[in-house]
Chain A
Amino acid sequence: MNARRSNFWALFWGALAILYFFLPLYGTLDFSLRMKRGELSLQAYQIVFSDPRFWEGFRYSTLMALITIVISVLIFVPTVYWLHLKVPQARPVVEIITILPFIIPAIVYVFGLIRTFSRPPLQLTLSPFTTDILIVTGYVVISMPYMFRAVDVGMRAIDVRSLTEAAQSLGSNWFQILAHVILPNLRIAILSGALICFATVMGELILASFLVRPALGPYMALLGLTKAYEPAALAIISYALTWFSLGLIQLISRGGTAQQFTGR
């Protein structure tokens, strides 16, 4: 084997990949700083940050993301726990269901939501509040593949059966087992699932746009139609948000496994 030649190609493809990653980032950053002719300035950022619609979108998306995370945890932690403890034979069915959001594209899904919930018997698109209920359930569904996997991986790392039997022998009921034994052991897994959830909801366009809610995604799309420099600044802000969340996951999941107090 010719070690030197393979090394050259490795460096070549690796360098090309890194260029592909960073050139658009650099381009965006550079562009976002050039609003004032002939000098670098933060003016585009100042304009974005002083736009009340940006803060409205930011607040709305953050709130929706947090509610989505809470509901996801409430649904998926007990479900995955039960799946591991009592009905492992249900796993194939549940797994197929959790990858359905990959099979049904978001644009098709929102089409279905609108057709189903914009007419009686359950008309949810009438008021902003009920539309928000609909959008949160949509976000729970869209982030389900990630949330389910994260919780599932976390659950695999702990000895669910021993923890449960130990808790039961001490007189715990199901709620106490979940809240005081299982949940604390899963906190790293839940945190990483929550961060993916957060990143997904903060950048989401399709649901918010077609259900006409003031989220960050539609605001960005609108700004892109009318402005030149502000969208670049917004893209950098959005990059920072997403990559902060996802980077945090890599950080905690790398150092985090040792901190889990497992039953083993």
Chain B
Amino acid sequence: MNLSLLRLSSKSLWREHPLWNWLGLLPFFAFILFFLLVPSLNLFSGAFVNRSGAFTLENLAVFANPNVIKAYLTSLQVSLITALMGGVFGFFVAYAVTIGNAPRWMRNVILTFSGLAANFGGVPLAFAFIATLGRTGFITALLKGICFSNVAGEAVCPFNPYDYGFSLYSLSGLVLAYTYFQFPLMVLTITPALEGLRKEWREASANLGASEWQYWRDIALPVLTPSLLGATLLLFGNAFGAYATAQALTGGSIPLVTIFIGQQIRGDVLGNPHEGYALALGMVVIMALTIVAYTALQKQSSRWMKS
């Protein structure tokens, strides 16, 4: 390639130096440096200085603050539950559209809507769930409307979810709303892995007398494990960083880390901006670990699928 370019262009030789080629990426790197790296690093360096600018580890004391611990635990809990729920549900749906041989129209609808719903979130999602499962939502109204009269002739409506402590504006409601974008993401990430399971493996195991259960336990699931773990991690990170849906649904009453950071930006609720930076840094550390592990597992599973 270098040879042909040499022949084509009459540019001087130093322009063919490998370092010159990197200069072509300069606008990109400059943009990223200025508007992504500097703001991020500026935030993180803020976590390690005190008000007068001297280096300190004192701000890490924020992680001993009971409110902060509670926020992290709640965020981890929501992310874990929705990753597992969305993961298991999404896996079965992906199974349905691949190995399960669901009808063609169903497969098309599910795959199309997964692409759409996985990108759908934020405020409109909260509104949609309020209109569906809120106090006056239509499913709530439907369930409320199922009434019987008991022996005394009084009407009993045993299915109103709000009588049983359910509330859309609480943790369980948040989990239901998050699942709306979590399980489609699982469908999208795990479908290729399921399609990678070879028919021959199944036939070979059947020939050797394995039951379907044994096939799944000893062959399919071990092969799928890296993909499943990776996809679940992706779902975890997806929920951990979410802000808008929770804010719009609960008005900030559920103490997630993202909500806490939002309050800290608005009004310095911690009383020390540098502790706020430490709080944000903790979040990025968790996200980074998640994404790095996801990428590693994804590589592992693609190697497996090729061999």
Contact = CB atoms under 8 A, between A and B. Distances in A.
Interface of A: 1-3, 6-7, 9-18, 20-21, 23-28, 30-32, 75-76, 78-79, 82-83, 86-87, 90, 94, 97, 99-117, 137-138, 140-141, 161, 165, 168-169, 196, 199, 203-206, 210, 217, 220-221, 224-225, 228, 231-232, 234-235, 238-239, 242-243, 246-247, 250
A98 to B, nearest CB: 9
A242 B137 contact: no
How many chain B residues sit at the interface, stated as a range, is 35 or more
B127 A111 contact: no
Contact of B287 (A82, A103, A110, A210): A103
Interface string B238-267: 001111100110010000001001101110
A75 B248 contact: no
B96 interface: yes
A238 B21 CA distance: 43
Contact of A26 (B27, B32, B100, B138): B138
A231 B130 contact: yes
A17 B43 contact: no
Interface in B103-146: 103, 106-107, 109-110, 112-113, 115-117, 119-120, 122-133, 136-139
A232 B131 CA distance: 7
Interface stretch (B57-65, B159-167, B276-284): B276-284
A138 B183 CA distance: 28
A241 to B, nearest CB: 9
B4 interface: yes
Interface of B: 1, 4-5, 8-9, 21-22, 24-25, 27-28, 31-32, 35-36, 38-40, 42-43, 46, 89, 92-93, 95-97, 99-103, 106-107, 109-110, 112-113, 115-117, 119-120, 122-133, 136-139, 179-180, 183-184, 187, 202, 206, 212, 237, 240-244, 247-248, 251, 258, 261-262, 264-266, 276-277, 280, 283-284, 287-288, 291
A257 B278 CA distance: 47
Nearest to B179: A20
B128 A28 contact: yes
B139 A18 contact: no
A31 B131 contact: yes
Given A87-B22, A108-B280, A220-B124, A100 B131 contact: no
Contacts of B179: 20
A30 B131 contact: yes
Contacts, number: 269
Nearest to B203: A1
B124 A235 contact: yes
Find the residue from A20, A94, A107 having the highest chain B CB count within 10 A: A107
A24 B291 contact: no
A102 B74 CA distance: 20
B244 A206 contact: yes
Contacts of B107: 14
8 contacts: A14-B106, A82-B21, A87-B22, A87-B24, A165-B8, A205-B243, A232-B130, A234-B124
A71 B124 CA distance: 27
Contact of B112 (A13, A137, A205, A250): A250
